[in-house]
Chain A
């Protein structure tokens, strides 16, 4: 897995902090974004206040052609805009040379897909029956619409994938993007994730989760990375040197796993792939997002594990607590790692991102500030 090094040459981010990498970076340093409090009926009456970090309104006309904008819902925009921002960022940093369209891939993951659009269609079907269906909404209700739009906007004619892997779908996409390049199926990939948090989902969570179970800050967002094979011009943010994936079959439905040995095996796998020891890791980014089951799982993973020769806590960061659960489907956490490596903040040269996701999945990548 260490052959044909793959690096991040551009980053495009939309988050509760706003549009662009700098807004994200500043919020990361600050440790907070502006969130709105939305109120929804609870499962047994009463009102549940839920905090949501939404992407602030922005004008996409400078980023996307008007003709394309007309063909996409607001929900589709985040992923496509992030991909365009990643391309612009890479160009501004003078990265890479020309890559033919047939060798450019797009991999955009999402855990829940365009829920708002699906909700709109359901409302139409409830009101008018099947004749109420609208072609535009139907097309935009497909999970892979943002990837399809991105392919058109960026003229990518290579592989296109839309991984769905719970709230780590963005990380799953990054892993697939890296694999496509490593295995010579593409030379450049726009890979990352997006997730919208429409009122439909917030209302659903308000109803589904028992009253006693708190609902943490939820976040919308998207992060897309321009990945390419080494060597490249310019200064990459980071190299992705290895990845590992596993699954906890004891997880229940949309909940997180409970077996700490699964994330541990994944972590061991990614360290082995990178040729690192635990003490080589300067930064560990975990999934913790305020949901109790995930917090409990990660607590078990990182405490009392003999492999950890130094306390994990001092190197551990939890970006999802800042940007909200589900934000970018894990891709914002990868962005946080890449930016930390780029800045060399905290003497950071080697970072791990390990994300258990709902349904029992667990994925990890190792990022380095050098090709290793």
Chain B
């Protein structure tokens, strides 16, 4: 059941520490074998595949990609014209204009985050028929990762002010949403939560790290439950920035395919309701999955290039397994980071091979970035939701556009359309600029 010693850091081995095997002190009683279990009781998804997770899941099962023309940025000159632009009608939801006073100051990122949070809370049974958040969860907290926050509105304001013969005044409202903490703050304000309001920005792993940080907050008793995930919108900064790095593909991305040439940017929000397992059981709500644990690491190699040896990614994967008291053979599905850039995909495959050895050929892997694009800070949230849905429905999401051809990638890539499978445990990988890596580990709520 437990990993061999090579997987442990030297100092931990010397202290005879094994996850789930006894404890060197009181802390490990709490965070080792006896640690508090975390239930996922709700999930919300806003993406290029639609405004809610059911709609998105339908398209995921059919392998219908949401990557298409970008309309939200009307000015020309961008290096590519396609991306995973989200569609999310606010009308008809409880966030309709006039429904909440904070709405008019919310950025596109905030809106997507709020809608995903609404859906997640509704699914968890915490939203009344009137759309009011249940008062019994006022002590809940929020943890949201974002890379650019409300930059889209901020840059529109700045560029408008800078255009024309005479500089004009900046629009305050647009700039108030720029900080990356705002999506978390908006959700906290809307829901009336008094628990920790946490935001984190570690580039493309932000959403995953936010889920990890939220689970730890519950385990240490800071809040009985947390809304956690990621949110980001398309904006000029990222589209032109990734373009300048020559990382964008003019065609829809094809992760792990031999012809892959780069990524497709996307946007959206993916939010989970995490809560104490016993609390969820006690109130009789349907548990979608169990959050087991996570691993994080840093490449300490280069700010934008992944370590070609995949050492950091492998460390995050190993730590996630160790902290979850699981072995490589327990993993039934991996939602890969899979951006579609030649180097990133190769580095991730190297890391998977290092951790799983020959098993890597039989563990289904998919990159759902082929469906909704790379949503940067939101990616970890979107992919956590998809991983939970895979466990919930026992269906493996596909990698659209993958036709194979790269013989060095000896993985079981799920191609084309979704396929049913027995999934007891799943991992979700996210790696970001700055070298940060995060792997989340989930398990089916009940043994399938």
Contacts and interface: CB of A to CB of B under 8 A. Distances in A.
Contacts of A246: 194-196
Interface in B142-188: 142, 147, 151, 155, 158-159, 162-163, 169-170, 172, 175-177, 179-182, 185, 188
Interface stretch (A81-89, A157-165, A282-290): A157-165
Contacts of A165: 181, 197-199
Contact of A126 (B158, B298, B300): B158
A165 B200 CA distance: 8
Nearest to A363: B196
Nearest to B170: A207
A118 B177 CA distance: 15
A163 B297 contact: no
Given A4-B27, A133-B243, A138-B237, A152 B304 contact: no
A100 B202 contact: no
B197 A247 contact: yes
A53 B202 CA distance: 28
B370 to A, nearest CB: 24
Interface in A165-179: 165-166, 169, 172, 176, 179
B105 A247 contact: no
B436 interface: yes
Given A100-B9, A123-B162, A254-B179, A152 B301 contact: yes
A4 B239 CA distance: 45
B442 to A, nearest CB: 19
B298 A1 contact: no
A193 interface: no
Interface string B270-305: 000000000000000000000000001111111110
Interface in B351-408: none
A131 interface: yes
How big is chain A's contact interface, by range? 35 or more
A1 B170 contact: no
A137 B433 CA distance: 14
Nearest to A181: B27
B300 A101 contact: yes
Interface string B190-233: 01111111111111000001000100100110100000000000
Given A138-B237, A360-B197, A71 B303 contact: yes
Interface in A96-130: 99-103, 106, 111-113, 118-119, 121-123, 125-126, 129-130
A260 interface: no
B303 A159 contact: no
A244 B196 CA distance: 9
Main secondary structure of the interface of A (DSSP, over half): mixed
Nearest to A357: B181
B297 A102 contact: yes
A118 B172 CA distance: 17
Contacts of A43: 169
A249 B297 contact: no
B296 A148 contact: no
Interface of B: 9-12, 17, 25-28, 30-31, 75-79, 105, 141-142, 147, 151, 155, 158-159, 162-163, 169-170, 172, 175-177, 179-182, 185, 188-189, 191-203, 209, 213, 216, 219-220, 222, 236-237, 239-245, 296-304, 311-312, 315, 319, 432-436
Interface of A: 1, 3-4, 43, 71, 99-103, 106, 111-113, 118-119, 121-123, 125-126, 129-135, 138-139, 141-145, 147-149, 151-152, 155-166, 169, 172, 176, 179, 182-185, 187, 204, 207-208, 244-251, 253-254, 262, 265, 359-361
8 contacts: A102-B9, A122-B158, A130-B240, A151-B300, A157-B315, A161-B436, A183-B216, A244-B222
Given A139-B304, A159-B296, A161-B202, 4 more contacts: A102-B315, A130-B236, A142-B203, A249-B189
